[in-house]
Homo-oligomer: A and B are copies of this chain.
């Protein structure tokens, strides 16, 4: 059973955005605690619908029950965590410079205020955590913005049930009508109408480079351009340093076989490129990795579109000149399945062929054999921006190759040391973002409560009477938040 939904018309979208704007005018005045209570209520509702929504999500995404349950729990955690952060208030960046004894100086007080209605495009590979009630939605609510979600057509039924839960939580906590809207639309036109509507003030997107760039370009062509944070995936290069490879090659290979195939490789942090210096150690690594990957059975991908793209991009990659297929199939595979695949090529081939830089979304990785560390450096300098990069290196390796380490760091938003890029912890110190084409703005993150700042802007109040200021900026600091008062961080009253 697949539920189908009608695309929203331009007129419906205009009505949704008008309502969203009215909700913004009300919601922006709600207290931080009210925002957090609303988010906690959504979290509770998601727990309430668990038994009902998991089977629907499993059917729509072909993801197993354990993963779906875990992802729903992560989504609940995000709502609670970002709600708590919203309430704690550090993210507001409250700054106060008092006039002091100088009558010519103004009293200036600044804090972040919400941008306005945010349009969220969810990810196909995370039907809960980066979709309807996912990270972008949670960040927008925390910032004080209403949200309009365009349901991902690949899990429209799941999205519908989650949307109902949000609407119920909104009613239960007295939120304004229009605080959340859920729009269906499999067509390009629906997304375009949402991004181009003058009352849309920001966009959150998780998906492909083509999709994200097209929304970014549209937003830039508006009369009033708006920020688009598009997280568009990554090949997450891994760099095997010589000493580490000699010491731990086999263990690293086993770890990576698991990382490459986790969730049928359908993660934006999947390691798609592995660089090493050619020689005995790299050959041994390749052998073990190939052996491990051969043991992994093919598995259903999220939906036919994803599977089709995997097979096409995989075929294109494997047919490139100087690309050697190391592992191609583990038993019989069906068209909807992802098959663990490993290929290798020289750094020269990599440097000369942009196709080898492209993401093959699925359980696929390409090992690049470099002549030496210098050629590895050249390869790094010709690699595009990434969500993550990983250094597999001993301390000695790191100290011997400072220029290489530095170049790898320039590539990415998160630099992993002796681990795997898959697994994105939800916490304040996480950075899930990176230089283009990983995202459209490397200055922001879509995971962790710093993601709230995507949807807020500083607002300065000059010479306001104390009682007319927002609570956050009043002398007494009634909320007890951290503020920078005359250049010193403090929780004290003035």
Contacts and interface: CB of A to CB of B under 8 A. Distances in A.
A482 B433 CA distance: 23
A115 B431 CA distance: 15
A487 interface: yes
B443 A108 contact: no
Contacts of A105: 425
Interface stretch (A31-39, A145-153, A326-334, A408-416): A408-416
A108 B463 contact: no
Given A108-B429, A110-B429, A429-B96, A416 B220 contact: no
A51 interface: no
Nearest to A423: B106
A465 B395 contact: yes
A430 B224 CA distance: 24
A431 B417 contact: no
Interface stretch (A67-75, A179-187, A270-278, A450-458): A450-458
Nearest to A399: B468
A40 interface: no
Number of copies of chain A assembled together? 2
Contact of A484 (B106, B428, B445, B462): B428
A358 B465 CA distance: 31
A322 interface: no
A437 interface: yes
B415 A461 contact: yes
A489 interface: yes
Interface string A470-494: 0000000000001010010100000
A96 B427 CA distance: 9
Contacts of A463: 416-419
A262 B130 CA distance: 52
Interface of A: 25, 29, 88, 90, 93, 95-97, 105-106, 108-110, 113, 115, 216-217, 220, 224-225, 227, 384-385, 395, 398, 406, 409, 412-419, 423, 425, 427-431, 433, 435-437, 440-443, 445, 450, 453-454, 456-465, 467-468, 482, 484, 487, 489
Nearest 6 CB-CB pairs, A to B?
A: A431-B460, A108-B429, A220-B220, A97-B429, A95-B429, A414-B460
Given A97-B428, A442-B457, A443-B456, 16 more contacts: A90-B489, A95-B428, A97-B427, A97-B429, A105-B425, A108-B427, A110-B431, A224-B436, A225-B440, A398-B468, A414-B460, A415-B461, A415-B462, A427-B487, A431-B459, A443-B458
27 contacts: A88-B487, A90-B489, A96-B429, A97-B425, A106-B416, A106-B425, A108-B429, A108-B430, A113-B409, A216-B225, A224-B384, A224-B435, A224-B436, A225-B436, A227-B443, A412-B459, A413-B459, A415-B459, A415-B464, A416-B463, A431-B458, A442-B457, A443-B453, A443-B454, A443-B458, A445-B458, A489-B489
